[in-house]
Amino acid sequence: MASHNDTARDEAALWVARMDAGVWDEHDESELQAWLDVDARRSGLLLQAQAAWLALNPAQNLAREAETPPPRVYRRRSFFALAGTALAASVAGGLFWFDDSTRFTTQVGEIRRVPLADGSIAAINTASQLNVTVAETRRSVTIDRGEAWFQVAKDAGRPFVVEAGSVRVRAVGTAFSVRRYDNGAEVLVTEGIVETWVSGAEQRAVLLKAGQRAFVNETLEIKEESAPPSSIDRALAWRGGNIDLAGERLSEAVADLNRYNRKQIVLADPALGDERFDGVFRTDDPEGFAMAVHSSLNVRVTIADDAITIGSAKK
Amino acid sequence: MDHMGRFERRHAIALWVAREILPHESAVRALLRRLRLLPQDIDEVIQDCYCRFAMLEDVDHIERPRTYFFSAARNIAGRRLRRAKIVPIDSHVAMDLFEDSELPSPEQVAGGRLDFLRMRHFMDALPERCRRIVELRKIEGWSQKEIAAHLGITEKAVEKQVWIGVKAIQRAWREADTAVSERLAAIEAGGQ
């Protein structure tokens, strides 16, 4: 089977070489057709080989860069302008290289995972914006809004500091998330230890270990709690595009889901908000969530173009 | 459609695939790997995707080729998993959950370019005679006929070197895609 495939692949390459000669008559076409007809998979092999060959064309013939939509990353200095071997070398490591600050923005419902220049990884949640600077002596991230989780590459010489309003979180090599709120930030630690404090009060920093979460208040109040690992995993399910509920109140679940979608869910009957709910849902599937509520709580669900209404208002 | 019509259509679709599909192959392979398909199954799903693309009459209506590629792979993989009956617990869920953002992320764009740069690197690794001919064909843009005249060899001899070149390029893409998809899958796994 494998050898049959290898043979067919080599024959596909031969056809590509023949087509590449630029001379093509009816006889060639019918011979090729006969070859293709032997096995349905051959058309795919031929296409793959022809595309691979055409991909060797100089880039300007292939890439219609002017026509492609602008990427959602905005850089203060153009990354692709730094073409050449430095680019090739950094990309080859699977890393981004930028010696300047880079801004990442996600739209509502968008979740992105981005490798950073130092080998760290950021997962950026819905409707968020952050600036990342990887410099020689420091790595800093500013969360303008939203939430991100970081897996920080170990580098004792370059502390990794996240700023969310006046809240600061520092890590050396660890994994944690920071969600910015109007009045503070929530920090969840999945690996290692981080240090968190409020700007101007570094002497009152608090250490958080894996499995701990803390809400850090802009007025210097730090509330920490030890959370069972499963609850942290669940709280970070968004990295896989999920919302993981285990007995959350319906009102909280709806608020959470509404972070990800323009089509908002409305609880028409406020009493439903106290119902407890379980299950794993897609962040981008509010309809699916509403239907699950419908079937498990036996309430009415109305799906319109702009909103989903759960329950009917009590007369 | 006459023979030239078929030739042109085939060429147009292959160009589109080179530009819009190949750069995402490693990401699609990484998805299939996360769905715990076996390597040979991954190859077959990818091949089935190309078969599907080969059947397209034209590609103008496909606004989001990357999304199209992902959903084709997902559908084909889903059918296989159901047929295999041994369905990893999470695959159906994961199948639907997989990110499907319509724009390629910057690392994927970079990944596509990386493959291109690698291709150039592989060109350098071709046997001397083959490399010379591939360069004249690709960089200078000469036809096989012009190359034959220039080098004083037959057109069949040029075609044979092109064949060697195509085989080397096929192999290079396969190796690069496997390596890149492994790396992407590792990054994803590390992040979960």
Q: Give the pLDDT confidence score for residue A205 in this predicted structure.
A: 81
Using CB atoms, pick whichever of B51, B110, B138 lies closest to residue A41.
B51
Q: Which of B107, B126, B182 to mutate to test the interface with A (most CBs of A within 10 A)?
A: B107
Cβ-based contacts of B110 with chain A (< 8 Å): 91, 96
Q: With a cut of 70, which residues of chain A have pLDDT below it?
A: 1-4, 58-100, 219-222, 229, 313-315
Q: Which two tokens stand for residue A190?
A: 């999945």
Using CB atoms, pick whichever of A13, A20, A40 lies closest to residue B51.
A40
One DSSP character per residue, A244-306 reads EEEEEEHHHHHHHHHTT-SSEEEESSGGGGG-EEEEEEETT-HHHHHHHHHHHHT--EEE-SS
Cβ-based contacts of A35 with chain B (< 8 Å): none
Q: Cβ neighbours of residue A115 under 8 Å, at least 6 residues apart?
A: A94, A95, A96, A121, B107, B187
pLDDT, tens only, B39-81? 888 888 999 999 989 988 888 788 788 888 888 888 888 777 6
A84 by DSSP, 3-state: which? Answer: coil
Give the mean model confidence (pLDDT) for residues B134-161.
91
The whole-angstrom distance between B56's CA and the closest CA on chain A is 11
pLDDT, tens only, B87-133? 443 444 344 434 444 444 544 544 444 455 566 677 788 899 999 99
**In angstroms, rounded to a whole number, what is the distance separating the alpha carbons of residues A220 and A254?**
30
From chain B residues 88-117, the ones with a CB under 8 A of any chain A CB are 93-94, 96-99, 101, 103-107, 109-111, 113-117
Residue with tokens 């007025």: A219
CB proximity B171 to A under 8 Å: no
Task: Report which secondary-structure segment, H or E, holds A206.
Answer: strand A206-209
Q: Cβ neighbours of residue A55 under 8 Å, at least 6 residues apart?
A: A62, B18, B19, B22, B115, B116, B119, B169, B173
Q: Which two tokens stand for residue B95?
A: 């199948």
The whole-angstrom distance between B129's CA and the closest CA on chain A is 16
A43 contacts B51? CB cut-off 8 A: yes
Give the mean model confidence (pLDDT) for residues B3-28.
88
**For residue A84, what is the nearest residue in chain B, using CA coordinates?**
B117
Distances in Å between the alpha carbon of B171 and those of A55, A94, B44, B167, B183? 14, 21, 16, 6, 18
Cβ-based contacts of B163 with chain A (< 8 Å): 13-14, 16-17
Using CB atoms, pick whichever of B15, B155, B191 lies closest to residue A54.
B15
The whole-angstrom distance between A147's CA and the closest CA on chain B is 15
Q: What is the pTM of this model?
A: 0.48
Q: Is the ipTM of this complex over 0.90?
A: no
Q: Which amino acid is at A54?
A: L
Q: Give the pLDDT confidence score for residue A3 in this predicted structure.
A: 63
pLDDT, tens only, B163-191? 999 999 888 888 877 777 777 767 666 54
Main-chain phi, psi angles of A227, to 5 degrees: -110, 140
**For residue B160, what is the nearest residue in chain A, using CA coordinates?**
A17
B114 contacts A88? CB cut-off 8 A: yes
Query: In sequence order, what are the beta bridge partners of A75?
Result: A102
Residue with tokens 């192999």: B171
Does residue B192 register a pLDDT over 60? Answer: no
A29 contacts B3? CB cut-off 8 A: yes
The whole-angstrom distance between A225's CA and the closest CA on chain B is 22
A94 contacts B183? CB cut-off 8 A: yes
**In angstroms, rounded to a whole number, what is the distance separating the alpha carbons of residues B39 and A153?**
30
Taking all residues of chain B, what is their mean pLDDT, rounded to a whole number? 77
Burial of B60 (0-12, 13-18, 19+ CB in 10 A): exposed
Q: Which two tokens stand for residue A235?
A: 């709280």
In 10 A of CB A143, how many CB atoms?
A: 22
A121 contacts B190? CB cut-off 8 A: yes
The whole-angstrom distance between A8's CA and the closest CA on chain B is 11
Using CB atoms, pick whichever of A44, A53, A88 lies closest to residue B50.
A44
The whole-angstrom distance between B86's CA and the closest CA on chain A is 22
